[in-house]
Amino acid sequence: MKLLYITDVYPKLSESFIGREIAAVQSLGARIDLYALQRWTEPVAVSGPELPVYYEEDRDRGPGPRLFDHLRRVLRSPLRYARCLRISRQGGGQNLSYRFNRIPALLDLIERLGPDHVHCHFGSAGMLSGWLAHRMLDVSFSVTLHGSDVFVDPEPALAQALADASFAVCASGALRDTLRDKHGVPESRLHVLPCGVDMTTFAPAEQPPTFPPWRLLSVARLHPVKGIGDLVEACVVLRSRGVDFRCDIYGDGDQRDFLDRAIRAHDLEDRVRLHGAAAHDLLPQVYPKHTAFVLPSHTEGMGVVLMEAMACGLPVVATNVGGIPELVEDGVHGRLVEPRSPIALADAIAEVHSSPDDRAALAVRNRARIAESFDLHRGARQLLDLFEGC
């Protein structure tokens, strides 16, 4: 089967799960090309699968030739073109109009490659491009939705686009329920299929670290929605209780300077460290060096980093939001707390460190949870079955 994936930015560090999914689907015999609207330009490199990648900035011919390309599309399919133009001008917002303006580059590529199906990651600009291509060329398309693209800032035309999609993959049941109840998408078109973890790559340490000190880890974009500021405040609480701990935070984003100032203001430099963005290939060695993983998000689709931590046998402390409760059972795999509560976060961190003798059983339990329901290769087989059914 020939597939064309569309994503907004590639290969983006915080979205390395897209590359892992592509590699897993490729291993099942599918041929995959990828169309990215933007290049990843940050300094941290991201390894990805071997596949042809086409960037819109390379293929878009500029305003003059683009106008000619639009005229050519008008002459070839006037009715289809008129319908797409109307869609792009009615209720879709500026993003949809912008996507329509640049659609000729994608249409030409689809006609040249001849994919059997187009799959988009995230319900954002890439989805709009895939939807318009479906309307212009009648190629089937689908979307994987992850969380912020529905819970935080959904596209105005999200429901319209999903009405035309062959199906939508949801990172969690909570996401499916929101799409069904708030956006009117039929449940029969929605498939809960979280991004998975390669169990051979993420594994527990042969000799888990002992404590004290407690070694806390968080991996997240430094964005307000991830709640890392709450973790810094929780570290203040832990220090006030006399706890010997270290906290490593991997990730980058708009809040880097704010968090750095907060750490210095609370005199936590010797305990809390912002490591910046880390290549995903490094993380399988990072997780096992810690005694607990913390993700204090204010909203979350599911949390691939939680899966990775659990596959490495770590107890997790996370917030009771989005799809996280579908992954983490409170008191079984770690602790769940309400968001925006540093004191509750500190209490939960203390609780998962309270019984060192139980950690071996918890490590087995957490790894088994991921192997049972969130294995990357099992999920790839399910996804390819959906593609083949279009």
- Residue 316 pairs in a beta bridge with 293, 334
Residue 117 and residue 139 in contact, taking contact as beta carbons nearer than 8 Å: yes
Phi-psi region of 106 (alpha: psi -120 to 50; beta: other; left: phi over 0): alpha
Q: What is the predicted pLDDT for the residue at 358?
A: 83
Does residue 203 lie in a domain region? no
- Which backbone phi and psi does 144 adopt, to 5 degrees? -105, 125
Give, as one character, the DSSP assignment of residue 8: E
Do 241 and 173 lie in one domain? The reply is no
Instruction: Tell me the β-bridge partners of 292.
Output: 216
Measure the CA–CA gap between 54 and 49, rounded to whole angstroms: 14
Same domain, 269 and 288: yes
φ/ψ (deg, to 5) at 33: -115, 160
Name the packing angle between helices 103-113 and 125-137 (round to 10°): 60
DSSP structure class, residue 124? S
Domain tally for the chain? 2
104, 129 Cβ separation under 8 angstroms: no
Q: Which SS3 state, helix, strand or coil, does residue 368 take?
A: helix
Amino acid 267 reads D
Other beta carbons within 10 angstroms of residue 262's beta carbon come to: 18
Question: Is residue 97 a part of any domain in this protein?
Answer: yes
Report in angstroms the alpha-carbon separations of 308 from 105, 120, 271, 285, 288: 37, 24, 24, 11, 10
Q: Is residue 356 part of a domain?
A: yes
> What is the CATH number for 50?
3.40.50.2000
In a domain, 306, yes or no: yes
Q: Is 140 found in the same domain as 160?
A: yes
Query: Are 179 and 226 within one domain?
Result: no
228 and 331 fall within a common domain: yes
Domain that holds residue 124: 2-196+375-388
The answer to whether residues 214 and 291 touch, using CB atoms and an 8 Å cutoff, is yes
Give residue 278's pLDDT. Answer: 86
Angle ∠(263,269,270) on CA atoms, nearest 5 = 145
- Cα gap 39→135, rounded to integer Å: 26
Establish if 205 belongs to a structural domain. Answer: no
According to DSSP, the residues that pair with 276 across neighbouring strands are: 250
Judgement on whether residues 124 and 229 belong to the same structural domain of the protein: no
Residue 382 shares a structural domain with residue 362: no
Q: Are residues 76 and 132 in the same domain?
A: yes
Per-residue confidence of the chain (390 residues) as pLDDT tens digits? 999 999 999 988 888 899 999 999 999 999 999 999 999 887 665 667 889 999 999 999 899 999 999 999 999 999 999 999 999 988 667 899 999 999 999 999 999 999 999 999 999 999 999 999 999 999 999 999 998 899 888 999 999 999 999 999 999 999 999 999 999 999 999 999 998 999 999 999 988 898 999 999 999 999 999 999 999 999 999 999 999 999 999 999 999 999 999 999 999 999 999 999 988 889 999 999 999 999 999 999 889 999 999 999 999 999 999 999 999 999 999 999 999 999 999 999 999 999 877 888 999 999 999 999 999 999 999 999 999 999
Q: What is the pLDDT of residue 44?
A: 60
Residue 204 included in any domain: no
207 in a structural domain: no
Residue that the structure tokens 């008191």 belong to: 331
pLDDT for 46: 66
Kindly state whether residues 343 and 330 are assigned to the same domain.
yes
Examine the domain organization and report whether 31 and 141 are in the same domain: yes
Residue 131 inside a domain? The answer is yes
Q: What is the pLDDT of residue 48?
A: 75
- Shared domain for 333 and 384, answered yes or no, is no
Same domain, 287 and 179: no
Cα distances (Å, whole numbers) of residue 168 to 51, 145, 158, 185: 24, 7, 11, 9
Number of H helices, E strands in the chain: 18, 13
Give the span between the Cα atoms of 351 and 355, in whole angstroms.
Answer: 8
